[in-house]
Chains A and B, each alone.
Chain A
Amino acid sequence: MNAARVYSLLKRKNTVFLSVPCSRFKELLAILEKKREVIYCSNEEEVLGMGAGLALCSKTPIALIQNSGLGKMLNVYFSLNKLYGLPLLFIISWRGKGKDAPEHFYIGKKTPMLLRAAGIEFRELGYDEQKVMKNVNYAFSKLKRGESFALLLDKGMIS
């Protein structure tokens, strides 16, 4: 789906976008940069830490990251966000699903397993408007209940 449309579905009253970039959502980042609505972080742990700080002020942090960062962030997720109940909405590019560069192969294979192990419910964002809208709304309903949720991005879902 068009990045501008995805942005308008994600942008809500208290959302704050945090990111370690991935080429798969660069069009969305370009929009956020133009609006000065994204904070780039030095790594994914920092995304979760800042997300916790924002959630402590009743904000809704949206973490735009690559699945390589999923491996990096797990301890912080468990001992901060999960432990204290400070959830984030994750938008995670699912690199290594299908044909991709070799460094994405293993993490790509294990991405659903890692999310399940972390107890983070997830769905693929989807391609068509109806589906994307449904999934985004579902994700926000989970956040409202204090649970983190992940939307996974396959190739071409945001363009």
Chain B
Amino acid sequence: MNRINAVKILMQHVPKDALVISVNGYISREVFSSFDRAGNFYMLGSMGMGLPIALGLAYAIKKRKIVVLDGDGNLLMNMGSLSTVARLHPRNLVHIVLDNEAYESTGGQPSSSRYVDLKKVAEVCGYEFAARAETVAELEKYSRKIFLARGPIFLLVKIREVASPSGRINIKPEEIVRRFKKNTTGWLNERI
């Protein structure tokens, strides 16, 4: 499985009203090129912050699914946030990690995810459901399930094939925010 195919399969199953956070590097670029929508927030920097941003959203808007398209390098940079998932236990969180065991956008240096079973880590951090997808068939099977089930949900997607990345994100940060905010207006919980 390569990254762009994984992104396409997942994004096709994401509910229309879900909010999606994609992390910096190639993952945001793939999402932008294949499935741009107003409810997407593209991280450009702030590596490690995909999950925290999603936790903030999940806290403020409980009626919509909050999806994070995370990477192994990103998650490893801030694994402490997994403990915050355990603490807050957001029912609407779907956390997907595209794991290529490398820092690909900086030249393919190895990450340490090959030494750690991230699915097991998620299981002990209070996720309701955690799974690993190695093949396209498995990813399709889980994609049909994870956006319907009660969260927090964790899906580890192993990316074994290297494919050339999509082009850069050509909308400005303020435009990303403007579109996204318009999409969240009126959805706040009555009392938080």
Contact = CB atoms under 8 A, between A and B. Distances in A.
A75 B24 CA distance: 14
Contact of B177 (A39, A49, A78, A84): A84
Interface residues of B, number: 37
B56 A61 contact: yes
A53 B57 contact: yes
Contact of B45 (A46, A83, A86): A83
A84 B88 contact: no
Contacts of B59: 16, 39, 50, 53-54
B181 interface: yes
B184 interface: yes
B53 to A, nearest CB: 4
A52 interface: yes
Given A56-B53, A57-B61, A61-B56, A49 B188 contact: no
B58 to A, nearest CB: 8
Interface string B77-120: 01011011001100000000000000000000000000000000
B49 A45 contact: yes
Interface residues of A, number: 30
A80 interface: yes
Interface string A6-24: 0000000000100000000
A interface, over-half SS: helix
Given A45-B78, A53-B52, A53-B60, A58 B188 contact: yes
B20 interface: no
Given A56-B181, A57-B188, A79 B56 contact: no
Given A16-B59, A54-B59, A80-B45, A46 B52 contact: yes
Given A56-B177, A56-B180, A84-B177, A45 B187 contact: no
A125 B94 CA distance: 40
Given A56-B41, A75-B46, A84 B174 contact: yes
B174 A58 contact: no
Contacts of B87: 40
A57 B60 contact: yes
A57 B187 contact: yes
A42 B53 contact: no
Contact of A48 (B43, B49, B188): B49
A30 interface: no
Given A57-B60, A57-B61, A79-B46, A45 B174 contact: no
B192 A16 contact: yes
A93 B44 CA distance: 30
Interface string B49-76: 1011111111111000000000000000
A1 interface: no
B101 to A, nearest CB: 23
B176 interface: yes
10 contacts: A45-B49, A49-B56, A50-B52, A52-B49, A53-B54, A56-B57, A57-B60, A58-B181, A58-B184, A80-B43
Interface of A: 16, 39-43, 45-46, 48-59, 61, 75-76, 78-80, 83-86
Given A53-B54, A80-B43, A80-B53, 8 more contacts: A45-B48, A46-B49, A46-B78, A49-B53, A49-B81, A57-B56, A59-B56, A86-B177
